[in-house]
Structure 1
């Protein structure tokens, strides 16, 4: 009986170890100039975002960062988001316009995908619903100066 209990408990540490690994991020194909801009942007990202500590990402050289659990994920070099056009409304934080799909804005239980869509290369922040309502605004206000510093404005998003 004792050995059966030990066998049942054995998988638990393995399961816990699997949950604490790096956050996997997709790495976009980038031109040399976009890669350089994204790497400079990623190198300047803070140790905390929306009161969450930075955690490791995989691959470790991705132009990205992750914060907390569930992770807020910041990626540079993403494609134009669905639904974005010059007519789209944007939220402005510290002079940078961020596009958030209307359906996510209305649904407070939805994860947010926030994109500095008017910049090249583009930056995307995925904020899990758990961090709403303030997590998205906090992320935008912290990231805005870095977007302005490292990326190029090509289309105003107001």
Structure 2
């Protein structure tokens, strides 16, 4: 697929020692579930050539981004990946976003990879530009003003998804 132009202490009351184990248990369970859960993700349907590029990317993706561990998506696919139970989700081989035609669209560059930015209430969405296939990365609201996870994805994208220009 070809890319288009660059888009422009709260204190516990009562008996804290009796409540502490319950709090610790809750935190432990919540911590485990955020990294082990499968995130429901729509799997893209790219061409065979693009799917091959996406499978190569899948093999090179990091096991951790921003302190979040990589896990499986639901359904599992070589075209998708997630970190932190879905806090960061990658889909490879997505269709070209309509917003990419807008010359006023916001864009960022991370270690040699250009990304179009779409701001959403649930967190930002980035789509690679100038690559043989589109790679989409959605992040939850904690990353609204932090695109640093893109730096962890830049090298794998650069190495496996050739430029289109």
Q: TM-score, normalised by structure 1?
A: 0.72
Higher relative contact order (CA 8 A, sep 6+): 2
Cα root mean square deviation, aligned = 2.4
Uncovered stretches (5+) of structure 1, i.e. residues with no partner: 1-15
Alignment partner of 1:55 is 2:71: yes
What is the 5 A alignment of 1:1-40? 21-40=37-56
1:10 equivalent in structure 2? none
1:11 equivalent in structure 2? none
Aligned residues: 132
Q: 1:69 to 1:58 in 2, by over 3 A?
A: closer
Q: 1:30 to 1:69 in 2, by over 3 A?
A: closer
Between the aligned partners of 1:78 and 1:70, the Cα distance in structure 2 is 18
What is the 5 A alignment of 1:101-112? 101=118, 104=119, 110-112=122-124
Uncovered stretches (5+) of structure 2, i.e. residues with no partner: 1-29
Alignment partner of 1:95 is 2:95: no
Q: 1:145 aligns with which of 119, 132, 155?
A: 155
Q: TM-score, normalised by structure 2?
A: 0.70
